[in-house]
Amino acid sequence: MTFSNLIKKMQTRLDYLIKDNQCKKAIEDFKTRKSVSDWLAQYLDLHDSVSIKPEGVPRITSSHFEGESFDNMQKFIQLYERINSLFEKLKKNSYSLLQLSKA
């Protein structure tokens, strides 16, 4: 392995460590955040940066590097996806109830 490749590999691992730490902080922030919609909006970019969405297949968490697993990334994606799904259902149901009350 060349020195240049070693540096790139170290930088990539460092990127994963930073993202993993950001995910850990996002999970902690969710525990104290009052607004779900604000939390979802604040961490959308993080969500998109630690997951891959190939065309026609479900989203994949990018949480492994060189055989190392970054658990906070996995936990964050699971939490974000679950909360976003519930929030979207709640918005849809609220809209339906609002339409019924206007009828």
> pLDDT tens across 2-56, in order?
867 767 777 888 998 999 999 999 999 999 988 999 999 999 999 999 988 888 8
Indicate the pTM of the whole model: 0.79
Question: What tokens appear for 92 in the block?
Answer: 């849809």
CA distance 92 to 96: 6
Residue 33 C-beta-side C-alpha neighbours within 13 Å: 16
